[in-house]
Structure formats: structure tokens, C-alpha cells
Amino acid sequence: MNRYPLWKNLLILGVVLFGLVYALPNVFPQNPSIEIGPARGVEITDASLAEVKAALENAGIAYGGIEQLPSGRLLARFDDAADQLRAQEAIETTLSDRYTNALTLSPDLPGWLRALGVQPMFLGLDLRGGIHVLIDVDMEAAIEQSLERYTGDTRTLLRNEKIRYQTVTREPGRVVVRFRDAESRDQAQRVIGREFRELVLTAEEQGEDFFLYAAMTPADELAVRKFALQQNITTLRNRVDALGVAEPLIQQQGDRRIVVQLPGAQDPGRLKELLGATATLEYRLVDTEHSVEDAVEGRVPVGSKLYRDRDGRPVLLLRRVIVTGDQITDASAGFDQRTGQPAVFVSLDGQGARRMREVTTENVGRPMAVVFIENRTITSLVDGEPVKRSVRTEEVISVANILEPFGRRFQTTGLDSSAEAHNLALLLRAGALAAPIQIVEERTIGPSLGQDNIDQGLVSVAIALALVMVFMMFYYRVFGIIANLALLMNLVLLVAVMSMLQATLTMPGIAGIVLTLGMAVDANVLIFERIREEIRNSNSPQASIHAGYDKALSSIVDANITTLIAAVVLFSFGTGPIKGFAVTLSIGILTSMFTAILGSRAIINLLYGGRRLSKLSV
């Protein structure tokens, strides 16, 4: 009685060993490091590694090692923050044109752990240090930009319909069209109402002038605000990705603000430069009449310009621009109804639609390219003084054939996958900010403060663990020691699962771990009390162990399921810190059930299983 089969013991042992391996990376310290990524059009190669090493060695900076990450970036490690800052200055001075860099922290893992691909948990901003920025989106400007587009579209529509008008102007919150006679105004009201159903039209007369006012509905204004906020979030996320920061947090706060948190980032100036960068798009026809090879060799035809796509391949385009990203009002990914291939659907404003229709009508069958243009400000140190300079990047992100004339709304096909279509739609929507932004709050949390939080969190975990273990050992004796072993196993598995999932640990997450440690022994207390009750009822020790685990199982499962439900609700409806608490609590509940029921039972079976017992030390 009370024996596990060999396979179950091996399974439990395997889980414990798995937990030890995945939890081990969290023991190693975090070193000051620099992540080095390629600028647009540059690829990280062995030559890049040699360039970075040469730049550091020429500056006389000692480094712990440089390795290439799975993401393709380079990671340089240093012994202290002083060397890290000197290294950044050397990289900025000699390699800033070809590479981007970001200050960060990285775990100093031995080679065999890196070979296994295991990584420690991500640490949140409150533990690792980093940058917190609160951004306000100018929603009023977004509304005015929409009205500005309606102003231009209205002017174009009236001209195309040959309706005479005096002026089309914009006032705060509305578009104003002035006419000389009521007939023209009424005709314009019918045409504009048919073309722009989302506008509310109001007709008035003032002396000899006749006015037509067009205002956006509250629902349309709300849609513009939501679109501006979401597009800005997407834009900022794409820009922050260039920093190479692990687990950046970019999320909406309220109805007009965005929170950007970059754990491990230590350069707020670079972040503000990145957020303030501008980007746009241009549609151009591909030059099919001249040789790309000749252009690569330097013989670029007059009226054409040589570009590169994101894979570095040359593309020869006409200099004449069809439309720019400023004229794009919306973009979404989908599928071509005729062929089922991935496609991106783009909407233009009135002026862009007219220009696009004219060009595509004359060039059916010819390829057209989408050029992504970005302007960034780079700060480099010259003679010890920071010098800012503007860097312009231009690259082709898509080339597709014009199948038929199109204007205001069209689709781009020729994409390899739906994922590529989705990414292109994001670039089209996120190439430029939909509304101006302003940084209203900026906080930099140093790694020393984060280390203090980690130290205090570890102390709290150690004190909670020690008190629980002392109580269990004193009150339940040998069985209490077994429960303590299960408790340690639970802590290891909890850390291992969070590391495997690459979950982010925050201060509330540490609180969840402490709570889990206190709750983890509840199952063993129920089991041990049930065993004591069976012994008092004159059952044999072996029967008491068996009955204790069997009869307490339903109570343990019920209690943990209700707690798990509460944790899931916290994760579903909570934000930031609440989610961190819920994640650690949920994982802790699952690991505690495994260790308290199966783990402790396996140890008890090894000690007492199959033996004649006269009493139990419980």
C-alpha cells in the first residue's frame, strides 16, 4: 500500500529536474549591456561583429563578450555602468550611421544554459529600472485634420459636379461653404449628403449669401478619436521596437493618453528622439523602361531614382510621386475576393483619389511601388559635446501590378502571406502619427532602485518561506519536513514556469508569490489533519495515509479552483500591476496542487510505503 509505480516517480523527478533547469537562470546577476541593431538597409553579419569589437578596442574599453542574439541583434556585456556608457559613446561616434544601440541589462548565463535556450523571467519596470513616459494625444487636432480633409474633398466634389460656389472654408468644428444663390446651395447639399453620409448638413441664409454648414456627427468624431489613438499606439510600438527592449509596455490610458514603459532602457533622450521621429509613405511608378543594373552602377536615368527594398534588392522608380502617406485616411488587411490572395485595402482623401485615378487609368499593367520614408534625429558625441543630426531613410516596402484603374479605395496584392499583408497595413496606418503628441510625464527608474526592490522582495519571500517552514516542521514533525520540501519544490516550479513563459515579474507579482507560499501548505494541512483524524479512529498508519490523501482531495481541488477563478477574473479585468499579481497567483495555484498532492505523496511513499508501521510522526 502507498506505493507509486516507477513511471510516476520518474515523471515527478523529471518535472522537478525540468523546474530546476528553467529556474536556474534567475540566480545569475544582470550585467550592464548594449543591444546593437542594424539601421534600415543594413544587416548584422560577422563583419558587423568585427566592427563593434574594433570600435570598443580602439577606445580601450573592456567588455565581457559580444554575442549575436536570435533576433539578429548584437549584445555587448560590460562589467560596470561606466564602461557601458563609454562604450555607447564609442559606438555612437564611429558606427551611428550603420547601427542603432540601446542601453539595457542582460543576464550573465553560462554557455551550457544559453545552449539550452533557457532565459530568466523578464523583470518589470519597478524591478529592473527603465523609462516611464505618459503621452497625451491631441484629439482636437485629429478632429481638425479630419475636417481639413473634408474641406478639400468638398471643394473637389463641387468642382467635379460643376456646382458654382464662392468659398469653402473651415471653422472650428465645421466646414463652411458659401454660395450666391439658393439653387446652387440646395444642389450642393444633395451632392455632399450623398457623398459624405457621415456629415450633418445645415443650410442658412445671411443677407445675399447662402451658406451650407457641414459638421461631423458625435459618433463620427468618436470614431476619429479612437482611430487616432490606436494609430498612434501602433506607430509608437513600431518605433519602440527599434530600441530592442524586451517586453515594452505600450497601452492606452483613458480616452486620450498612452503609457510607454521600457524596462531596462536607460536613455530617455533617445526615447524622446524616437517618439518624435516623423514618417510617411509615397506611391511611385516603377521605371520599367531602363535597366536597374545600369542604375546600380551609377547610371541613373533622368527622371528616375534608385531605391532598395527591405531585403536590400535595388528597385528603380520614377521621381514623380503619385500620392503620399498624408493622403491615406485608412488601411486594413484582407483577401482579394477574386483570387483569395492576401491584400491590403487603402483609402485616400479626395485629392489623392483624383490623382491616383488619373495615374492608374494611364498605367494599367505597370508595377507601382510603396516607399516608406522616415526622418530620425540621431545624437552623437563630437569632442565630448552632443550633436544632433537628421537622418532620412527611404525604402521600398511593396511592389505590385496595377490591375485596373482605381481611385479613393483600392487594394494592393502580390503579397506572400496574410502576415505580410497585416504588416503592410500597419505600416500604411502607422507610418505617421495620426495626431500630434505631447509627453506630459517622464520618469526614469534607475537599476539601483530596481535592485533595492528585488532585494526587498527576496527578503519578504525568504521570511515568509522560513516562517511557514518552521511552523510546519514544529507542528507536523516529519510530515512537516516533507511539506517543506514540497513547498521548496513549488517555489522552484513557479519560477521555472514563469521563466519558460517569459512572464514579466513585478512587485505585485512578488506579492503573489508570497501569498502562494502561504497558501501552498493549505493542501498539506488538510491532508495531514485528515491523517490525524484517521489515526484517532484507530485506523492503521498505512490506511490513514491512503485515506488522508483520498478524502482531502475534493476539498483541496474545490478551494484551489475558486481561488483560480478569482485570479482569472483579476487578469481579465485588471491592468498592469493587477495582471502581474494574477499571473503569479494562477501559476502558483497550479504548481502548489502538483507539489502538495503528488510531490509530497511521492516522498511519503518512498519513506513509508510498503512498511509495517506502528505510528506516524505527524
Per-residue pLDDT tens for 328-384?
A: 777 777 787 777 777 778 888 787 888 888 888 888 888 888 887 765 656 565 666
* Three-class secondary structure of residue 538 per DSSP: coil
Under the banding of pLDDT at 50, 70 and 90, the label for residue 489 is very high
Q: What was the pLDDT predicted at 239?
A: 66
Q: What was the pLDDT predicted at 377?
A: 55
Q: In this prediction, what percent of the chain has a pLDDT beyond 70?
A: 84
**Cβ pair 73, 91 in contact under 8 A:** no
Q: What was the pLDDT predicted at 240?
A: 72
More confident residue, 157 or 379: 157
Domain ranges of the chain: 6-25+447-608, 29-108, 140-220, 277-424
Q: What was the pLDDT predicted at 137?
A: 84
User: pTM, whole model, 2 decimals?
Assistant: 0.60
* Three-class secondary structure of residue 512 per DSSP: helix
For residue 96, pLDDT over 80 is answered with no
Task: Please state the rounded mean pLDDT for residues 221-232.
Answer: 84
**Cβ pair 437, 232 in contact under 8 A:** yes
More confident residue, 391 or 334: 334
Q: What is the pLDDT of residues 239-253, one digit of tens each?
A: 676 555 556 778 888
More confident residue, 215 or 109: 215
Interatomic CA distance for residues 205 and 16, integer angstroms: 83
Interatomic CA distance for residues 343 and 417, integer angstroms: 9
Task: Please state the rounded mean pLDDT for residues 389-397.
Answer: 73
Q: What was the pLDDT predicted at 63?
A: 85
Task: Please state the rounded mean pLDDT for residues 532-550.
Answer: 86
Three-point CA angle 67, 130, 138, nearest 5°:
120
Interatomic CA distance for residues 146 and 573, integer angstroms: 33
Interatomic CA distance for residues 385 and 338, integer angstroms: 59
Task: Please state the rounded mean pLDDT for residues 40-58.
Answer: 77
Q: Which of 395, 397, 392 minimizes the C-alpha distance to 375?
A: 392
**Cβ pair 196, 150 in contact under 8 A:** yes
For residue 41, pLDDT over 50 is answered with no
Q: Please tell me if the domain spanning 29-108 has the same topology as the one spanning 140-220.
A: no
Long-range contacts: 248-251, Cβ < 8 Å, 24+? 249/125, 249/576, 251/575
Q: In this prediction, what percent of the chain has a pLDDT beyond 90?
A: 4
Q: For residues 483, 485, 489 and 492, what is the CA-based torsion angle, rounded to 10 degrees?
A: 120
Residue whose C-alpha cell reads 485616411 in the numeric block: 329
- Assign domain 29-108 one CATH number from 3.30.70.260, 3.40.50.720, 1.10.150.20, 3.40.50.450: 3.30.70.260
User: Greatest CA span in the chain, whole angstroms?
Assistant: 112
For residue 427, pLDDT over 60 is answered with no
**Cβ pair 422, 406 in contact under 8 A:** no
Three-point CA angle 26, 587, 454, nearest 5°:
35
Q: What was the pLDDT predicted at 274?
A: 62
Q: What was the pLDDT predicted at 248?
A: 73
For residue 17, pLDDT over 90 is answered with yes
Q: What was the pLDDT predicted at 448?
A: 56
Query: What end-to-end distance do the CA atoms of the chain give, in Å?
Result: 18
Under the banding of pLDDT at 50, 70 and 90, the label for residue 388 is low
For the ranges 334-348, 395-409, 485-499, the maximum mean pLDDT occurs at 485-499
Task: Please state the rounded mean pLDDT for residues 584-601.
Answer: 89
436: cell is 500630434
Mean pLDDT of the chain: 80
R_g (Cα) of the chain, nearest Å: 32
Task: Name every residue whose Cβ is closer than 8 Å to that of residue 377 and which is 6 or more positions away in sequence.
Answer: 273, 276, 277, 388, 389, 390, 391
* CATH 1.10.287 for domain 140-220: no
**What's the distance, CA 57 to chain centroid?**
35
Count the Cβ atoms, other than its own, within 10 Å of residue 27.
10
Residue whose C-alpha cell reads 497550479 in the numeric block: 590
51: cell is 566592427
**What's the distance, CA 267 to chain centroid?**
19
Q: Which of 124, 117, 38 minimizes the C-alpha distance to 449?
A: 124
Q: What is the pLDDT of residues 165-204, one digit of tens each?
A: 888 888 888 889 998 888 888 888 888 888 888 888 888 8
Q: What was the pLDDT predicted at 390?
A: 60
For residue 449, pLDDT over 60 is answered with no
Q: What was the pLDDT predicted at 389?
A: 63
CATH-assigned architecture of domain 6-25+447-608: Up-down Bundle (1.20)
- Lowest-pLDDT range of 283-287, 311-315, 450-454: 450-454
CATH code for the domain defined by 277-424: 3.30.1360
Under the banding of pLDDT at 50, 70 and 90, the label for residue 575 is low
Residue 351: C-alpha distances to residues 140, 410, 476, 479, 594 (Å): 23, 15, 81, 80, 65
